[in-house]
Structure 1
């Protein structure tokens, strides 16, 4: 990603890329950018942009000029800055990228602080919010729209000023602010809010006569200018000052106790602590010293970097320390395995880690920005004010960690890595804690805790020999202890002698500085296994990782699920396999490397290849079934039969089927991504593109569009090697979806046009029809509405010609209807949507039916049939809620509010928009800002009846 973009509208409209200011072009181009920024992440329609820049009497060339301005801005700012959305554009914003959003965020925090009776914090937030104003908002721009927006923003500023002075009065600062309030009253003489505050400040400063004179001036001015008397609040203040009301001499007590904001679900993700943890007292104390702030939490963001070779116990140490201090971080303890040295695949990207944290707090994935900088800013905003402990395990380098560092004091981050992460220490103030091999004394303590003090004390010389032969590594000692416990009749001296005999054939496994190797220790546990368990252990090195389910392990071995479960139990008891959560199995990276050596030395190449095909077949057929359950009307690809011995997942019939499939896809997403990379690396081209297709819809619904794009690039390379036009067409289709959602609409259209060509050449009528419908959507994002309608109509014609099932025809009819709405052909739109709704199968597809009812509602709205529009929207809402599609629910609620307002039902409009805002707040979606503006407008500028 490029450098961070920042914008300002609370003053002259300006933009910066990193430290450098960007040239935003001529006034009309700046006006386009300003209008998009005022949407605060929401979609701004093309018509709104035209009206804002040119007014209602726009020239015929306005649309062409608008596209030119958007193109130039994208060239200057970079493609991710301005996204195509619906029939317009949007710029994702957050407090770190737009001064208006930062202003709103700080005002919101001030309101919460006031509810919590924390006036000092509230005043600080409000002062910080007002500091974002750098003169007159939107300075340098002209026009009716700009002036209306400037007036709206000024009202927001004055409201914040009022709140700031009210808080400062509550804090006893009446003497300090009397002069500031007098100047403000002179600037806004008809604004009674500031006169009321000035009267109170003067009275509390012992200037009762001046306070009464302020009221007299207001009464004369209002009578002369407007022919009215002062409002009730100002009159009440005057009467209270006249009678020297005692309650005015001190901040009034709140009428009601402050309401406690419900605390969101608190993540508690730390892995299980090791009951027999021993040693490391000095290192634990060193990390404890970082908790030097009030209440035993860091006064700043504390970052501890735990380093050391593989097997030295970094993760165990970090988890143990985190459990010791977890109670000091009441807002949550988060754990992410960054997989920096996982041989099964790529490390976890910072974006993926940021999304994981935000989703841990209940944030919907679809509400998160795609830009890395915006995502990091959203993360910092979400963590603001929280006291959190974040454990980042197995980091590869500082770049992987740095975006995850919180910005607020009171948080603690503990990082483990084999690398020293020197730049994190140098530039981010992290404290290094290096773990060496255990001392002899610590090794004795470890074995005593594992074996029992009496047994260890009975053979002290053997204990010391075992410690030295294990290189004093905790991982090796734990495996030896496990073997000793299962052979309680064996003297420890026998185990020590066996280790000594193995030393001649040991080589360094993972670190040149290791005094000895642990391969011998691993070999003990391995050679004690039954042949079937030993084979499964070896073959687990071929699993794409990072962990495996029972069914996947059974497919790997080509065995039944019960038999595989017995073997995995044997492996976990031997400490060769971990079961971090019930039903999920994983290898420590040292053990994985050892298993990989064994399988290459023991199993012939054809056996390894057959194993790899079985596990890829498991994930391909399981993901395909999950996708069919998740999206039953998606045009499925044909799969060849699975290899013998594959145990594919199945999903229950009935209403829970979709949820079960979605849950499986969520759980297996990292493994499926690794499986695609594994298939590509080993030349399994069919598996590569078909796996990418199978999880494409899931990645799209979860808004993981960068992952979608990455997998489809691998799929395209595979499809090209296969010279398979149909495969290439499917990949082009998925690349188009990713490109559109990432704001690269021109690229998306190229992909979709190629997909249509390939499907047409291959004679795949259904796929071609579906591709035309997607191409219609892409054209809509470009603002090419005539082309959008043409492709929707072609989709419908092809489905009808092929006598397709009802749901596909209904979806195409709805697409045609939607395009007619956008083009203003509302009667034609209604006819198409009502025809779609009349298809019987639609009513067994609640999501599809909801989409159609929503389109009907919008068409009726434009036709002026407001009651019919409301009925359509309410039908859509009931169905969206049934299937749990929150984003669509919010969109329909917003349109329902528009209809209520158009028909004069202001309170109903307020109710609909309030519900929409609640949903968008829950999703942490950027559109929430636009809905707040709508609600604010109802309050500050209610429609005339």
Structure 2
């Protein structure tokens, strides 16, 4: 049995190749095979198959592909082999096979063995030949998508390194002829990888083609000069000189990194024109001298300073100068600690990246994140490595990435001083201030050339002063001067001075202010409408903004806004990071915000924020009405949107769900902004509009946070009705999280408030919610009592939909108490009323109740039909927990009737959804899947 990905994706048993299926299924199959024996999260599968955001129904599509792949694997059993297991685990899947059955893992094992210095020459050659022979062309051939492309590129690099190892083994064994053609082909693919022409020169020289070997060097030298303006490196030069001298022995490869034993070299390119920082470089040199000497712990340096001070440039420049001190390699990660969208790198993701960088075989990497960190520290325990952790947010982000034993040096850059790291680990703080005037001048000289600087010496001094000696600002000045050689430096200095004068709020000694002045060179080229848009974008609370919301922010129609967004994108003042969605980094955001403070009045800024808040609130209400069209309005009436606001409309339920899915982070940020700004009515209105989506999609932690903010806002409004409904919905979120006691407390508060204002409809809702809470806790006597009180109140106030919901609740409670005939009487009345009202959500819940009653009465055919009706409606509504619950019940019926295959299929589908929701019911359901057939199955209480 073989799994092949080093070429077209294939699964074979003996001589028979089984058809995996269409390309998308092949991609899912390859994603599982690549991590054979390890958990692959469902989110990871979706990311590997689709670009972000994934389409609606991506999860269900993946589940369908998984089912088909399981069928394919079962075919292997029909041939007499034991079929591989594709196991569902919490949040994902494991292809439970020996990784050596997968060609890429076998290739890595063979390459690692071949690279072992203790392996005999004859055995090494055999291992290399077998490893290289596993390649059948481009890996993951014909599969599209970002993940396939990235993986293909990475594997090609491993193949290249393996070919180098094989080629040297063949040359040593006296077979240089066979490697000449493959090496020449690789040089065409990687013209700037110097180890390839060096190895080809060895082979050519070994077969007596000395002139061709020297010509190979000349061609490589020309390519490096043309493309990189660099001279050949040490290895290529050493081989060339040996051949030139006609030496009998050509130097062996220097640092060839065959697959499986790679020495990581992850440093970004060194900074061109680096200048100054002599004292700081000397301090780092002194620290490096202690590594591996008398130090008893890992040596750490924390480089801290303001944005633009050149922290990364210093770390990377020093790392390149001292790379040879660390023969086991250099690891680097940008932790994005100050990303404006809050997308800081999770340290566990960085650990996994480091394990990949040291070529740790995937089958050896544990699934638990803490175990991955332990493995990372184990790998580095006897290594002499340099680890660069760039742009760290805080000490907590850094700690999991620190090696645990001496021998390594860690460089950390951050805008924060990382004081707790200095205290707890003995890290050496290295504060980074402005450049000295001499260093700043040296930086410009190296970027612009000594002649140009000497010609306009006074202007250079003015530029240094105008840039406040901040490296980032000086680099921007130098780039502008270099790209416009006809501009005089005096003109550039005057332009900088004019910007600082015109933007009085930016005339500050803080270096960030001066960077913003440099940004003005791009800003002043904008048309007035684009400049206004740029300023207002700094006021937007969310991590990014769609074009539709930007229209409301400015008060301009969307058709007029699109050209302005294109203008800003062209000027590199914003980035369209996804189609129709825009963002900019934190310095530009701060610059835009300060410009708005200077150029836009308080009323203009307030109006812009009001429009954007109205945009999201009204759009969310429009979307929510499609998700739950029969829902009552909130306690605080929604006022018309401000003039110049352009709320979105949606054609159907699917569009509304898609909008909520994409905008959820922005909506949460907007609600937090409204709450912090004291916009209490808007906070409550937006919370109301978010409730249905967050509940149905299982975002219950977000749901609880939203209603907590709304409750504080309602209290400030001193509106008892608003306070009551926020207590009520907060209780719902808490109950979803299993915090039933807290839910009861909030519902009692709500009930008392509704009694104080004489709102019997509100009291009916609270009694219905209390019934639901007691039902979840298994106290059906109390549940039916509250449900009946709710029904009586709804009847009294003449609320038909509430009446219908309460009928269903009473019926459900009777079913739980064993009175199934009474349950059907109430629930069928509820169903008739809900169908008259066209309330699909209520209808789905009621079909579920009727199905349960029929199941308990032994009417299994009728129960299945009812559950299937509820299932269709729940899927249409996007009610994921309800969908899982209904599948759970269908599995119970299959179990009760002896249809164990149907029971297992339904339970597994339900479990997949609950796993995605991280719901506590997963343990109960997983236990059912592992118990003996025919044991009784009890339902988790729901309403």
TM-score normalised by the chain length of structure 1 = 0.55
Q: Distance in 2 between matches of 1:877 and 1:486?
A: 63
The one of 562, 567, 583 equivalent to 2:564 is: 567
Partner of 1:658: 656
Q: Distance in 2 between matches of 1:382 and 1:760?
A: 56
- Following superposition of structure 1 onto structure 2, how do residues 317-356 of structure 1 map, counting pairs within 5 Å? none
> Shift of the alpha carbon at 1:334?
11
Contact 1:673 1:711 in 2 (8 A): yes
Q: Distance in 1 between matches of 2:400 and 2:695?
A: 24
Q: Secondary structure at the match of 2:582?
A: strand
Contact 2:506 2:513 in 1 (8 A): no
The one of 824, 842, 845 equivalent to 2:818 is: 824
Contact 2:300 2:412 in 1 (8 A): yes
Q: Distance in 1 between matches of 2:757 and 2:450?
A: 74
Q: Distance in 2 between matches of 1:575 and 1:311?
A: 18
> Shift of the alpha carbon at 1:397?
2.9
The one of 276, 301, 306 equivalent to 1:309 is: 306
Task: Give the 3 Å change call, closer, same or farther, for CA 607–935 of structure 1 in structure 2.
Answer: closer
The one of 774, 777, 785 equivalent to 1:779 is: 774
The superposition leaves residues 89-125 of structure 1 with CA deviations (integer Å, 9 ceiling, x where unpaired) of xxxxxxxxxxxxxxx9999999977643699xxxxxx
Task: Give the 3 Å change call, closer, same or farther, for CA 624–108 of structure 1 in structure 2.
Answer: closer
> Shift of the alpha carbon at 1:735?
2.0
The one of 535, 539, 543 equivalent to 1:542 is: 539
Pairing 1:423–2:420 present: yes
Unaligned stretches of 5+ residues in structure 2: 1-86, 103-139, 152-266, 289-296, 319-331, 352-366, 380-386, 938-943
Partner of 1:185: none
Partner of 1:733: 728
Q: Distance in 2 between matches of 1:334 and 1:631?
A: 45
Aligned residue-pair number: 645
The one of 606, 609, 612 equivalent to 1:609 is: 606
Contact 1:676 1:711 in 2 (8 A): no
> Shift of the alpha carbon at 1:418?
0.8
> Shift of the alpha carbon at 1:648?
1.9
- Following superposition of structure 1 onto structure 2, how do residues 295-306 of structure 1 map, counting pairs within 5 Å? none
Contact 1:278 1:442 in 2 (8 A): no
Contact 2:534 2:568 in 1 (8 A): yes
Partner of 2:859: 865
The superposition leaves residues 704-746 of structure 1 with CA deviations (integer Å, 9 ceiling, x where unpaired) of 4444444434433332332222221221112212332344323
The superposition leaves residues 422-454 of structure 1 with CA deviations (integer Å, 9 ceiling, x where unpaired) of 434665799989877689999999999999999
Q: Distance in 2 between matches of 1:698 and 1:357?
A: 32
> Shift of the alpha carbon at 1:828?
1.6
Q: Secondary structure at the match of 1:542?
A: coil
Partner of 2:629: 632
Task: Give the 3 Å change call, closer, same or farther, for CA 275–400 of structure 1 in structure 2.
Answer: closer
> Shift of the alpha carbon at 1:505?
10
> Shift of the alpha carbon at 1:617?
1.9
> Shift of the alpha carbon at 1:636?
2.2
Partner of 1:892: 886
- Following superposition of structure 1 onto structure 2, how do residues 553-702 of structure 1 map, counting pairs within 5 Å? 553-637=550-634, 638-650=637-649, 652-680=650-678, 684-702=679-697
Q: Distance in 2 between matches of 1:712 and 1:401?
A: 33
> Shift of the alpha carbon at 1:748?
1.7
> Shift of the alpha carbon at 1:547?
3.0
Contact 2:834 2:842 in 1 (8 A): no
Partner of 1:187: none
Calculate the aligned-residue CA RMSD, in Å.
6.0
Contact 2:543 2:666 in 1 (8 A): no
The one of 766, 783, 788 equivalent to 2:783 is: 788
Contact 1:910 1:938 in 2 (8 A): no
Q: Distance in 2 between matches of 1:106 and 1:357?
A: 23
Q: Secondary structure at the match of 1:633?
A: coil
The superposition leaves residues 24-64 of structure 1 with CA deviations (integer Å, 9 ceiling, x where unpaired) of xxxxxxxxxxxxxxxxxxxxxxxxxxxxxxxxxxxxxxxxx
Q: Secondary structure at the match of 2:906?
A: helix
Partner of 1:213: none
Q: Distance in 2 between matches of 1:466 and 1:860?
A: 84
Q: Secondary structure at the match of 1:838?
A: helix
- Following superposition of structure 1 onto structure 2, how do residues 225-244 of structure 1 map, counting pairs within 5 Å? none
Q: Distance in 2 between matches of 1:264 and 1:868?
A: 45
Task: Give the 3 Å change call, closer, same or farther, for CA 436–279 of structure 1 in structure 2.
Answer: farther
Task: Give the 3 Å change call, closer, same or farther, for CA 883–725 of structure 1 in structure 2.
Answer: closer
Contact 1:508 1:517 in 2 (8 A): no
Partner of 1:811: 805
> Shift of the alpha carbon at 1:463?
7.1
Q: Distance in 2 between matches of 1:886 and 1:279?
A: 56
The one of 717, 722, 725 equivalent to 1:722 is: 717
Q: Secondary structure at the match of 2:885?
A: helix
Task: Give the 3 Å change call, closer, same or farther, for CA 461–602 of structure 1 in structure 2.
Answer: closer
- Following superposition of structure 1 onto structure 2, how do residues 234-633 of structure 1 map, counting pairs within 5 Å? 307-312=304-309, 396-399=393-396, 417-424=414-421, 466=463, 469-471=466-468, 473=470, 475-477=472-474, 480=477, 490-499=487-496, 514=511, 517-633=514-630
Task: Give the 3 Å change call, closer, same or farther, for CA 578–755 of structure 1 in structure 2.
Answer: same
Q: Distance in 2 between matches of 1:110 and 1:797?
A: 49
Q: Distance in 2 between matches of 1:528 and 1:823?
A: 75
Highest relative contact order (Cα 8 Å, sep 6+), 1 or 2?
1
The superposition leaves residues 319-370 of structure 1 with CA deviations (integer Å, 9 ceiling, x where unpaired) of 999xxxxxxxxxxx99986558x6x9xx7899xx799999xxxxxxxxxxxx
Q: Distance in 2 between matches of 1:549 and 1:675?
A: 18
Unaligned stretches of 5+ residues in structure 1: 1-103, 120-259, 291-299, 322-332, 359-376
Q: Secondary structure at the match of 1:938?
A: coil
> Shift of the alpha carbon at 1:580?
3.8
